Amino acid sequence: MSEEEKIGVYICHCGHNIAGTVDVEGVAEWAKSLPNVTVSKDYKFMCSSLGQELIEEDIAEQGLSRVVVAACSPHMHEPTFRGACSRAGLNPYLFEMANIREHASWVHQDDGEAATEKAKSIVSGAVSRARELEPLEPFRAPIDETTLVVGGGIAGINTALEIANAGYKVILVEREPSIGGHMAQFDKTFPTLDCSACILTPKMFDVGNHPNIELMTYSEVEQVDGYVGNFTVRIRKKARMIDVDLCTGCGDCWERCPAKVVDTVYEAGLGYRTAVYRPFPQAVPKYPVIDTESCIYFKNGRCRACEKFCPTDAIKFDQEDEIIVTSVGNIVLATGYDLFDSRRLPQYGYGRLANVFTSLEFERMTNASGPTDGKVLLRDGVTEPKSVAILHCIGSRDKNTNDYCSAICCMAALKFAHLVKEKTDAEVYNFYIDMRTAPKDYETFYNRLMQEGTHFIRGRAAEVTDAARKPEEVGKLIVQAEDTLIGKQRRIPVDMVILMAGMQPRHDSQEVSHRFGIGCSDAGFFNESHPKLDPIATMNAGIFIAGVCQGPKDIPASVSQGAAAASRVLSLIGKGEVEIEPVRAHIDEDRCSGCRICNNLCPYNAIDFLEDLAVSRVNPALCKGCGTCVAACPSQVIDGQHYTFNSIMSQIEGLLWDVRPNGEEKVTFQKTEPV
């Protein structure tokens, strides 16, 4: 078979990216000497339409039976060149990519000779592998038109509405008792200072009432199986202890509930809630939940006050978690962020000095429906501060905590400065490292704040202390910082300190990313498929990401990403079917010895043992193509499609073209042949 193959090799310059380090002409010339290579060319940009046409022409005119493009990573352009092969009538799985950019020119920039030699090896390996490739047909499967959206913050809400408005079903799973996410906690949003609730609540209402949206709050996705177009998800609907068909949301229960606990989620620790609670008045859905950990009845068997007072008998103490297993075609993750825990930086005194607040606490404080009815007050609940310090970058841009910029804190800090001025007569001091106000209209807001008389001090605050050194510092919180504009240490006594704690990945983001089979950055934000060209998709087809779970961003950007995720889902649904890589295991049943070694190795239980024939068989719908069984079969009768034994053995030979033993010493490992 492999003797008659005609292989075309194309070496891409990638402008200067490859050609600047690797002698591309030299490699192209050299590749002509490789066995079966009939065409070898170099070209400026292989991915351009002209580059692709070059391949198409050669396939047509020279009758190429294999194509190798040496360029960037296959994760970048394998689909592009497979497309070119397809158009010219060549099976796309007979294409092989040689990664001489990411794996050669870009990492050996200081040594062009070494980079060129390595590029030759990579090309040689690809040519050898190409010789052994076999034509394959992608599987086609219909797309389930229902989409799962995980997380009901503004990003998830927007995704769900866009898809539902286009006429398709959405299941929205939210962990908390209500959707809304962080935006529901705010009173005003920068830079326009419009009322957060006024713009969010109508959207939440739409989600709750949309005929195409099935809302599951107080729920979590526990398991995900399947592949793009055909996922099976297992959702745990935690017991609310409330019969939602009977509950009217009247509130008699939480008004009578004697168990009060600090609300660390919605009130950010600044306020209280009862054991039976609805997080906030505009909650969607309107039904409360009983938090069994703080409920007195669940702790010591007595109380049941809510049950007595509920006018509709909706309290059900014996309710149990419900498990829902359902199928969906696409999944959008919009799980948002956690606030950085300011206790990790004891020098700022949070948790020790009463009048040090976090950013979210302050959001709740300024909220008209918050614990202080929107008044800016010290921890005693009565005193208005006369001076307030706002410390930027808490936990952000610091290699000891989070090394990235949390993107929104400068603007939120400006918003806070404005709100303090609006609500009190206090002097406001903002301590910043750099003022980052890039997006549209943000700089204008900054200018406005400067006119409002906020004091801006350029320097990261070093410490907040109550140890007075001077009489005017007594009874105050003193912020110590180096003012880098005047090059002097400053101590500013204030009544209140607000720590602009940054946004960080959800505490369980690693777990969640693993559950959905997508990657995470080291920090824990979900990885996009390409940082510039595909910031919505993940490396797992059919799973998309939107909002802060992908990286710090503001509300407009979260909304846009939600809409973008929706449009990606809709275009897949519109196609009606998905193509799935035919990378699967296949057992040659005639030669299987029936040893069953493979059966238990498969992580997906995709291998059945056929008792009557005494052989094993792979169920291609369950197999994901990891190749574990392929490597383990002692009879070597499992074929790992596209990563066959022969193709890898051949690639090894090709890669080692310059160091291989020649002539009679040549080592051969034969795949065992049937006897």
Partner 1 sequence: MVDYKQYHPAWGDRSPVIIGFLCNWCSYRAADLAGTSRFGYPATLRDIRIMCTGRLDPTFVIKALREGADGVLVMGCHPGQCHYEEGNFKAMRRVALLRRTLSQLGVHPDRVQLGWASAAQGIIFTETVKEMTEKIAKLGPLKWHDNNHDASPHLPPLPEKEATHG
Ligand X SMILES: Cc1cc2nc3c(=O)[nH]c(=O)nc-3n(C[C@H](O)[C@H](O)[C@H](O)COP(=O)(O)OP(=O)(O)OC[C@H]3O[C@@H](n4cnc5c(N)ncnc54)[C@H](O)[C@@H]3O)c2cc1C
Contact residues toward partner 1 (CB under 8 A) are 73-75, 99, 101-104, 106-111, 113-115, 117-118, 121-122, 125, 514, 517, 519-522, 527, 539, 583, 601, 603-604, 624-628, 630-632, 640, 643, 645, 648-649, 651-653, 655-656, 659-661, 665, 667, 669
- Residue 263 dihedral angles phi and psi, to the nearest 5°: -90, 100
Is position 102 an interface residue for ligand X (rule: CB under 6 A)?
A: no
Q: Which does 522 bind (CB under 5 to 8 A by kind): ligand SF4, ligand X, partner 1, none?
A: partner 1
CB of residue 598 to ligand SF4, shortest distance in Å: 3
607 binds, among ligand X, partner 1, ligand SF4, none (CB under 5 to 8 A by kind): ligand SF4
- The partner in contact with residue 102, picked from partner 1, ligand X, ligand SF4, none with C-beta cut-offs of 5 to 8 angstroms by kind, is partner 1
Angle between helices 409-423 and 442-452 (to 10 degrees): 40
The answer for residues whose C-beta is within 8 angstroms of residue 632's C-beta and 6 or more apart is 597, 598, 601
Question: What is the maximal distance between C-alpha atoms in the chain?
Answer: 98
User: Is the sign of the CA dihedral 409, 413, 414, 418 positive or negative?
Assistant: positive
CA distance linking residue 549 with residue 568, whole number of Å: 18
Q: Distances in Å between the alpha carbon of 339 and those of 79, 351, 590?
A: 39, 15, 59
Closest separation in Å from C-beta 519 to partner 1: 4
Region of 315-323, 357-365, 570-578, 585-593 interacting with ligand X (CB under 6 A): 357-365
How far apart are CB 357 and partner 1 at their closest, in Å? 33
Tokens of 494: 């204030």
What are the angstrom distances between the C-alpha of 289 and each of 126, 239, 306, 350, 366? 59, 8, 11, 31, 26
Closest CB 477 distance from ligand X, rounded Å: 20
The SS3 of residue 68 is strand
Q: Is 46 left (phi over 0), alpha (psi -120 to 50) or beta?
A: alpha
Question: Is there binding between residue 342 and ligand X (CB under 6 A)?
Answer: no
Among 149, 170, 334, 481, indicate the residue that binds ligand X (CB under 6 A).
334
Task: State how far the Cα of 609 lies from the Cα of 611, in Å rounded to an integer.
Answer: 6
Indicate the residue among 499 and 606 with the shorter CB distance to ligand SF4: 606
Footprint of ligand X on residues 169-208 (CB under 6 A)? Answer: 173-176, 181-183, 186, 189-190
Q: Where are the alpha helices (DSSP H) in 304-441?
A: 305-309, 359-366, 409-423
How many residues touch ligand X under the rule CB under 6 A: the total is 39
CB of 551 vs ligand SF4, minimal distance in Å: 32
What is the binding site for ligand SF4 (CB under 6 A)? 585, 587, 592-598, 601-602, 604, 606-607, 616, 618, 623-630, 633, 635, 637-638
Compute φ and ψ for 519, nearest 5 degrees.
-95, 165
Query: Which of ligand X, partner 1, ligand SF4, none interacts with 74 (beta carbon under 5 to 8 A by kind)?
Result: partner 1
- The answer to whether 186 touches 196, Cβ cutoff 8 Å, is yes
Write each residue from 361 to 390 as x if it is in contact with ligand X (CB under 6 A), else as -, in one continuous string.
--x---------------------------
Give the DSSP letter of residue 105: I
Tokens of 62: 């020279």
Instruction: Select the binding partner of residue 174 from ligand X, ligand SF4, partner 1, none (C-beta < 5 to 8 A, by kind).
Output: ligand X
Which residues contact ligand X by CB under 6 A?
Answer: 150-156, 173-176, 181-183, 186, 189-190, 220, 334-337, 339, 359-360, 363, 408, 412, 415, 503, 506, 512, 547-548, 553-556, 558
